[in-house]
């Protein structure tokens, strides 16, 4: 055997061993169960006064199925903002505060004004939760009546949320970036401006956004 042939065989064997090792590590990672957070981490997350995040969200329910990026912020006890971005600006800006929901579809110059209740949240977003339940869901607290609720945690907050709500709706959220406990300006939760916008209901708002 020549020295050059020996080197080629040795290199090939080395690459094969590296690939085999990588396969073993990938299999181990896929089988590993996520490490649950400590009770202190869960308690701190659940008691956060404010939160903002960029999410990738998937909803699969009776009347709405879809995936979207969403920018979400809340300030307890009752202020919630959800923005769905589009290629040339916001597709939807929805603010719930003091029991009222105002949602605008800027491209259609349309506005929804209603109670911030589960029925209108379901019609608009496919998620039948009150604002405070959605806040809790984002920080590691299962909504009342949920059929299942699983989280994968980072150091201080959930990084992925998989939930099946009481009505069977499947909700998945992956956190791309989050800030917790930051002081959020009160103006972020003011109703979005809508001078001259035509009034619509939640079902029409969903249709305008492309939901079925």
Listed in sequence order, the residues at least 6 apart from 2 whose beta carbon sits closer than 8 Å to its beta carbon are: none
**88-146 per-position pLDDT tens digit:** 899 999 999 999 999 999 999 999 999 999 999 998 999 999 999 999 999 999 999 99
- 113: closest CA among 132, 93, 130, 135? 93
| Fold topology of 39-208 | outer membrane lipoprotein receptor (LolB), chain A (2.50.20)
pLDDT-wise least confident of 151-160, 177-186, 199-208: 177-186
Residue 71, SS3?
strand
Q: Which residue has the higher pLDDT, 17 or 189?
A: 189
Q: Is residue 126 within 8 Å of 63, Cβ to Cβ?
A: yes
Per-residue model confidence (pLDDT) at position 31: 45
- Whether 77 has a pLDDT exceeding 50, the answer reads yes
Q: Is residue 79 within 8 Å of 133, Cβ to Cβ?
A: no
Here the tokens at position 43 are 């308690």
C-alpha 147/C-alpha 113 separation (Å) is 30
C-alpha 104/C-alpha 175 separation (Å) is 24
pTM of the prediction? 0.80
DSSP line for 2-54: -HHHHHHHHHHHHHHHHHHHHHHHHHHHHHPPPPPPPHHHHHHHHT-SEEEEE
**Token pair 């085999």 is at which residue?**
20
Map out the domains of the chain as residue ranges. Answer: 1-32, 39-208
By CB atoms closer than 10 A (0-12, 13-18, 19+), residue 197 is middle
Per-residue model confidence (pLDDT) at position 75: 94
Per-residue model confidence (pLDDT) at position 33: 54
Distances (CA, A) of 59 to 124, 158, 170, 196: 12, 18, 6, 31
């Amino acid at each position: 055997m020549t020295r050059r042939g020996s080197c080629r065989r040795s290199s090939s064997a080395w690459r094969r061993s590296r690939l085999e090792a990588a396969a073993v590590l990938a299999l181990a990672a896929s089988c590993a169960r996520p490490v649950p957070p400590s009770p202190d981490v869960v308690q701190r997350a659940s008691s956060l006064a404010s939160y903002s995040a960029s999410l990738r969200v998937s909803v699969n329910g009776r009347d709405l199925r879809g995936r979207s990026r969403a920018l979400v912020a809340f300030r307890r006890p009752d202020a919630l903002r959800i923005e769905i971005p589009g290629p040339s600006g916001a597709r939807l800006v929805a603010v719930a505060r003091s029991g009222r929901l105002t949602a605008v579809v800027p491209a259609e110059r349309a506005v929804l004004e209603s109670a911030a209740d589960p029925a209108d949240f379901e019609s608009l977003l496919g998620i039948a939760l009150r604002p405070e339940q959605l806040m809790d869901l984002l920080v590691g607290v299962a909504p009342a009546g949920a059929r299942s609720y699983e989280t994968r945690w980072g150091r201080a907050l959930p990084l992925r949320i998989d939930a099946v709500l009481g009505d069977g709706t499947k909700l998945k959220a992956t956190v791309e970036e989050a800030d917790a406990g930051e002081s959020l300006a009160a103006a972020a939760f003011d109703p979005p401006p809508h001078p001259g916008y035509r009034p619509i209901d939640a079902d029409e708002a969903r249709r305008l956004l492309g939901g079925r």
